[in-house]
Amino acid sequence: MHMNKKSNPLCQQDPPCRTSTPARSLLVAIAFTTAAVVTTAQAQTAYPISGTPVKLIVPFLAGSGTDTMARALANELQKDLGTPVIVDNRPGANGAIGADITRKSPADGYTLVLATSSGWSTNPWLFKALAYDPVKDFTPIARTTTFPFALVVSASSPIQNLDDFLKKAHQTQLSMGYGNATGQVAGAHLMKAAGFKAIAVPYKSTPPALVDLVGGQFDFMFVDVASSQGLIKAGKVRPLAVMADKRSVLLPNLPALGEKYPGFDYVPWGGLMAPRGLSPEITHKLNSITVAILEKPELKAKLTTLGLEASPSGSDEFGRFVKEQLKAWGDKAKDAGLERE
């Protein structure tokens, strides 16, 4: 039986015909386009591809509090994602180097960064020329951590407590080391609030600064508990107060600086981010997995022993938090008289 013109709209010849060569080409093109769309959709929903590693950039040295958190998180992420998660330390410029590397990476879910208050809340107020925008250049995935910070001195220092420290600071000029922007702003804030001056000594990251603190190269620093707790337990570093308005559950016997000088209410934080443009589907998947990981009682307990506090949040909530903290840290930096370099 022959196909007539009405039964085949692609055939306009008389007498009746088979599908013409151009028509067949059109059908083939449509078929390939449909297959491509289906394949792309499948690829988007199949994240991650098994065996394709996810790189987690840490903008500080190994041994820092950020690195400690990143490694604990990476270990759990790779179990749930079913693919390797590799920690990549890219220290320098208070986290700016790692941030810029992330900014330039593809927004495909295979490059993530453990962002922190140093690189995302504080750097914009310390550097005139910053290669990245902490809000516009990144996709917020989930807040992960609060990093409790403490004012510390070497155990060999004659300073025994906060009152000793303040008395000494007013009698002579002390020196302050810092390995990140959090420590820099906190130190400047304390100097302004308590009315003394100290010589600031910058370091590339916290671990080498701690080595020099113990060695007596400078007098004091603000440091995250995660980085310093080993030295505190070993009796080489002496904590004097926590950088907060309220006491910390991790160091409950220490006074909070805010008890004397209210206003230490800005938050040293950490959170998972990706380059700008990460798809909502991958963002949602990574957020769901990350929040579930951080809500595990056993992981919370482990983080506490490491000197960290789990602080999971949704991606939208985290995005709002980043904007709020950018303003809060900026206010403290300006109040303390810090100027962009």
CATH number, domain at 286?
3.40.190.150
Terminal Cα distance for the chain, rounded: 85
Which tens digit of pLDDT belongs to each residue from 155-173? Answer: 999 999 999 999 999 999 9
Burial of 280 (0-12, 13-18, 19+ CB in 10 A): exposed
Same domain membership, residue 195 and residue 294? no
- Of the residues 229, 259, 289, the one at which a domain ends: 259
Does residue 76 sit in helix, strand or coil?
helix
Total domains in the fold of the chain: 2
CA–CA distances in Å: residue 14 to residues 3, 5, 22, 27: 11, 8, 17, 22
Residues 192 and 286 in one domain: no
- What is the model's pLDDT at position 250? 86
Residues 298 and 242 both lie in one domain? no
159 and 247 within one domain = yes
Q: Which amino acid is at 29?
A: A
* Claim to verify: residue 246 and residue 293 sit in the same structural domain: no
In a domain, 13, yes or no: no
> How far apart are the C-alpha atoms of 8 and 228, rounded to whole Å?
78
Find where tokens 């810092």 sit: 178
Indicate whether 316 belongs to any domain: yes
244 with 95, same domain: the answer is no
- pLDDT score, position 86: 98
119 assigned to some structural domain: yes
Shared domain for 124 and 78, answered yes or no, is yes
Residue 334's region, left for phi above 0, alpha for psi from -120 to 50, else beta, is alpha
* 340 part of a folded domain: no
In a domain, 18, yes or no: no
pLDDT at residue 94, rounded to an integer? 87
- 153 and 255 both lie in a single domain: yes
| Tokens 């990549």 -> residue | 88
When the pLDDT of each residue in the chain is averaged and rounded to a whole number, the result is 88
Q: Which residues of the chain have pLDDT under 70?
A: 1-45
The pTM score is: 0.80
Asked if residue 216 belongs to a domain, the reply is: yes
Amino acid at 49: I
Q: pLDDT (tens digit, 9 = 90+) per residue, 263-279?
A: 998 999 999 999 999 99
Single out the residue in 230, 259, 288 at which a domain terminates.
Answer: 259
Indicate whether 185 and 249 sit together in one domain.
yes
Yes or no: say if 221 and 195 are a contact pair by the CB < 8 Å rule.
Answer: no
Non-local (6+) Cβ contacts of 79 within 8 A are none
Amino acid at 180: N
pLDDT number for residue 63: 86
Nearest 10 degrees: CA dihedral of 316, 322, 323, 327? 160
User: For residue 71, is it within any domain?
Assistant: yes
With beta carbons less than 8 A apart as the criterion, state whether 287 and 269 touch. no
Please, are residues 237 and 195 in contact by the beta-carbon 8 Å criterion?
Answer: no
Assess whether 87 and 231 both reside in one domain. no
What's the pLDDT tens digit per position in 202-237? 998 899 999 999 999 999 999 999 999 999 999 999
Q: Are 125 and 77 found together in one domain? A: yes
Q: What integer pLDDT is reported at residue 45 of this predicted model?
A: 56
Q: How many residues does the chain have?
A: 341
Q: Which residues pair with 269 in a beta bridge?
A: 146
Q: Is residue 113 part of a domain?
A: yes
Residue 280 CA neighbour count, 13 Å, CB half: 1
User: Which pLDDT value is given to residue 243?
Assistant: 95
Domain span at residue 138 reads 54-147+268-335
Q: Which of 259, 290, 308 is the last residue of a domain?
A: 259
pLDDT at 341: 84
Single-letter amino acid code for the residue at 110: Y
CB 16 within 8 A of CB 3: yes
